Amino acid sequence: MAVLLKDAIKPNLLQTLDNTPCFVHAGPFANIAHGNSSILADKIALKLSDYVVTESGFGADCGAEKFFNIKCRISGMRPDCVVLVATIRALKMHSGRFSVVAGKPLDPGLLKEDLRALEEGCANLEKQIENMKLFGVPVVVAINKFTHDTKKEIELIRKKAIAAGA
């Protein structure tokens, strides 16, 4: 394993399809245990650009807390903001009204406007905003929009996020 990973300490500078620079450090799954990029990759990125987006992965309740409690403490780096990415379908799932089974088609209700289910599911988003605010960093909510999402659903999330302090 050591021979295979001897060069893994050297981050690879890649380019996304949108021509955005991106570091892959220590292989595609090196951060799987804690869902964070390496400190070294972030430090190099900070020297090469005006701002850096680092994914802490696996949700605010796991990846981001490890990011703040471990990575930030050890590195001395501190982010200027937290971006929570939410999807309308996932928030509807948090309502408990739908069931997703691997290998089976999605519940059609997840693809239709359902403000009641979405509002119930937003309790999860509100809790994650609350958790991130405990670190004293502003929180921004980004909605990963899909074609079946409606303006009313997006507006509901916007209002809930702002009311929760994002």
The domains of the chain are located at: 1-79, 80-166
Locate tokens 């955005």: which residue?
Answer: 20
CA distance linking residue 132 with residue 120, whole number of Å: 20
The model carries a pTM of: 0.82
Q: What span, in angstroms and rounded, lies between the C-alpha atoms of 30 and 12?
A: 13
CA 16/CA 93 separation, integer angstroms: 30
Is the CB of residue 35 less than 8 Å from the CB of residue 58? yes
What are the tokens at 118? 């979405």
Strands 139-143 and 12-15: unpaired
Supply 107's token pair. Answer: 């519940």
Radius of gyration of the chain (CA): 18
Q: What is the pLDDT along the chain (166 residues), one digit of tens a residue?
A: 778 667 766 777 888 889 888 877 655 555 555 567 778 888 888 998 888 888 776 667 777 888 898 889 999 999 999 999 999 999 999 999 998 899 999 899 899 999 999 999 999 999 999 999 999 999 999 999 999 999 999 999 999 999 999 9
Contact 137, 80 (CB under 8 A): yes
Q: Which of 49, 61, 60 is nearest to 82 (CA)?
A: 60
